[in-house]
């Protein structure tokens, strides 16, 4: 619909120019006509709000602002030019058209970058409620600040709209992701009777807010290091990943301990959480975090790794190879991989290369794994549904993303139903046809 809006407003601008060329006018009269044209454009957009995909959300906020400002500015110019009788020149009219089209196009960039995405259909019996708070860890000083402030961890809860006690699932986002990266998964789980808490890792998250309302953006050095991992050897990667994992594991352990300990700042949702049934999951580096915490703690019952290299099992590097700790994973694990990662894991086995995910698979008491043909890293999040353009930039394949996320979400529900609720038997295919 963004193209329709742009076409309608663009045609109205061209129509105004043609009329202006056919009907010569003084600057005073031209400004009055411009004011009328601006008002007509605002009315046209208001009428188009009844169409699906056209709304007053952030996608069209810039355009709405532009339309309002143009009416105000043109109205002011009409007052200024009320006594000007000299004729409006053709060059000025054409220049006005070019500027108008450019401003409208720029204002509509968000509408082209982002879809009118409102989530996926839910299949559970419950409606969804949400709440959030920021937990302050007074045992850790924020290492990204120099003011001695404590580490703050925003937490967002998605839970059934009916009172009861439900299993807990904690989600950790990927590098420079954010808490809503897999919102459709949280919503689907909550609709089936789970309390899902998704946390932000400040300075690893693309953006979040602290207790003062300040926006905290991703740390540039962290972002640069993650984006340039292919240029670094195993020794350097080990040192970097060790720092990344410690920060994230500490965040997850802190949030779990606050929930289990009954921190009243969390609010009424606290009484709905069954702390005897806990699942972990995460995407990318968040998946690695979930697995590491599941290895360390004895109160985790199941874990899902969504396309994450299990960095926590790397204990060093030498001669261009990682040194892996031979750890045991005593809880069931479900791993989703992109197609290339799946092929690389198989190649690592053939070449006897120490790849952490292969070691975890071999040592897990219960392991399930699958990949989607043609899928890339970001296809396991909601980003391709929300912004296909950004997803392509970050790594998205030619797959049916609605089918993919619906399948991922369904498998997550079935997995946790089996291992957290003791309902049914879980199984998955080795591969799924994700290609369009």
* 260/298 Cα distance (integer angstroms): 13
Please report where in the chains the tokens 């926590």 appear, as a residue.
Answer: 312
Nearest residue to 70 (alpha-carbon basis) of 104, 118, 108: 104
Helical ranges in 25-180 per DSSP H: 27-48, 58-80, 90-107, 109-113
Nearest to 273 by CA among 387, 155, 183, 376: 155
pLDDT of residue 83: 64
Buried b (16+ CB within 10 A) or exposed e, 195-212: bbbbbbbbbbbbebebee
Please give the pLDDT value at position 140.
Answer: 95
Nearest one of 378, 333, 376 to 356, comparing CA atoms: 333
- Using alpha carbons, list the distances in angstroms from residue 339 to 87, 257, 356, 367, 379: 66, 36, 17, 18, 11
How many residues are present in the chain? Answer: 436
For residue 26, what are the β-bridge partners? 87
- Compute and round to an integer the Cα radius of gyration of the chain: 27
pLDDT at 88 (0 to 100): 62
User: pLDDT tens string for the chain (436 positions)?
Assistant: 788 888 888 888 888 778 767 766 667 777 788 888 888 888 988 888 888 888 888 888 889 999 999 889 888 877 777 666 566 667 776 887 888 889 989 988 888 888 888 889 999 999 999 999 999 999 999 999 988 899 999 999 999 999 999 999 999 999 989 999 999 999 999 999 999 999 999 999 999 999 999 999 999 999 998 888 777 778 888 888 889 999 999 999 999 999 999 999 999 999 999 999 999 999 999 999 999 999 999 999 999 999 998 887 788 888 777 888 888 899 999 999 999 999 999 998 888 888 888 888 888 999 999 999 999 999 999 999 999 888 888 888 889 999 999 999 999 999 999 999 999 999 999 999 866 5
What pTM was estimated for this model as a whole? 0.86
Distance CA 116, CA 42 (A): 21
Nearest to 203 by CA among 133, 286, 145: 145
* pLDDT at residue 210, rounded to an integer: 92
Residue whose structure tokens are 């006594």? 83
Backbone angles phi, psi at 364, to 5 degrees: -75, 140
Q: Domain map of the chain by residue range?
A: 2-113, 128-432
Residue 330 has a pLDDT of: 92
Closest CA to 252 of 297, 284, 213, 222: 297
Rounded to 10 degrees, what is the CA torsion of 92, 98, 100, 101? Answer: 160
pLDDT (0 to 100) of residue 87: 60
Measured distance CA(58)–CA(60) in Å, rounded: 5
Whether the Cβ atoms of residue 191 and residue 124 lie closer than 8 Å to each other: yes
Where does 227-327 show beta strands of DSSP type E?
273-283, 302-306, 314-318, 321-324
CATH number for 128-432 (one of 3.90.1310.10, 3.40.50.1820, 3.90.870.10, 3.30.365.10): it is 3.40.50.1820
Q: At 293, which helix (H) or strand (E)?
A: helix 285-296
Q: With beta carbons less than 8 A apart as the criterion, state whether 309 and 238 touch.
A: no
Q: Which residues pair with 168 in a beta bridge?
A: 195, 278
3-state secondary structure of 132: strand
Residue 297's SS3 state is coil
* pLDDT value at residue 114: 83
Q: What separation in angstroms does the CA of 6 have from each of 25, 96, 117, 347? A: 27, 17, 20, 49
State the pLDDT at residue 353.
84
Q: Are 126 and 191 in contact (CB under 8 A)?
A: yes
* Beta-bridge mates of residue 134: 154
Nearest to 418 by CA among 265, 248, 304, 286: 304
Spatial separation of the C-alpha atoms in residues 64 and 70, rounded to whole Å: 10
**Furthest-apart CA atoms within the chain: distance in Å:** 87
Buried/exposed code over 4-36 (b: 16+ C-beta within 10 A; e: otherwise): ebbeebeebbeebbeebeeeebebbbbbbbbbe
């Amino acid at each position: 619909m963004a193209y329709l809006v742009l076409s309608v407003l663009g045609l109205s601008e061209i129509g105004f120019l043609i009329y202006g060329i056919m009907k010569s006018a003084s600057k005073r009269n031209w400004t009055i006509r411009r004011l009328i044209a601006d008002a007509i454009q605002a009315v046209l957009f208001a009428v188009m709000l009844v169409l699906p995909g056209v709304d007053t959300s952030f996608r069209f906020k810039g355009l709405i602002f532009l339309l309002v400002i143009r009416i105000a500015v043109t109205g002011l110019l009409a007052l200024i030019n009320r006594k000007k009788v000299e004729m409006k020149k053709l060059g000025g009219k054409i220049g006005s058209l070019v500027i108008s089209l450019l401003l409208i196009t720029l204002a509509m960039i968000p509408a082209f970058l982002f879809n009118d995405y409102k989530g996926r259909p839910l299949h559970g019996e419950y409606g969804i409620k949400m709440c959030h708070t920021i937990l302050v860890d007074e045992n850790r000083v924020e290492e990204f600040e120099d003011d001695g402030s404590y580490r703050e961890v925003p937490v967002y809860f998605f839970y059934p709209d009916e009172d009861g006690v439900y299993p807990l699932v904690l989600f950790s986002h990927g590098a420079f992701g954010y808490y809503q990266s897999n919102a459709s998964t949280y919503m689907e789980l909550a609709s089936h009777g789970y309390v899902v808490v998704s946390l932000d890792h400040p300075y690893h998250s693309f953006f979040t807010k602290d207790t003062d309302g300040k926006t905290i953006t991703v740390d540039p050095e962290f972002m640069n290091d993650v984006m340039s991992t292919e240029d670094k050897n195993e020794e350097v990667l080990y040192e970097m990943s060790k720092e990344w994992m410690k920060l994230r594991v500490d965040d997850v352990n802190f949030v779990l301990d606050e929930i289990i300990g009954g921190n009243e700042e969390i609010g009424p949702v606290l009484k709905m959480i069954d702390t005897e049934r806990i699942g972990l999951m995460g995407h990318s580096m968040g998946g690695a975090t979930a697995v590491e915490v599941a290895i360390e703690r004895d109160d985790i019952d199941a874990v899902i790794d969504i396309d994450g290299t299990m960095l926590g099992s790397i204990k060093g590097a030498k001669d261009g190879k990682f040194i892996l700790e031979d750890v045991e994973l005593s809880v069931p694990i479900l791993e989703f991989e992109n197609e290339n990662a799946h092929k690389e894991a198989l190649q690592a086995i053939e070449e006897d290369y120490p790849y952490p995910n292969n070691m975890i698979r071999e040592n897990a008491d219960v392991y399930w794994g699958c990949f989607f043909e043609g899928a890339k890293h970001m296809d396991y999040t909601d980003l391709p549904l929300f912004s296909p353009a950004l997803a392509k930039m970050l790594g998205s394949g030619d797959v049916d993303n609605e089918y993919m996320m619906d399948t991922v979400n369904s498998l997550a529900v079935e997995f946790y139903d089996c291992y957290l609720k003791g309902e049914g038997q879980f199984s998955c295919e080795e591969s799924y046809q994700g290609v369009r």
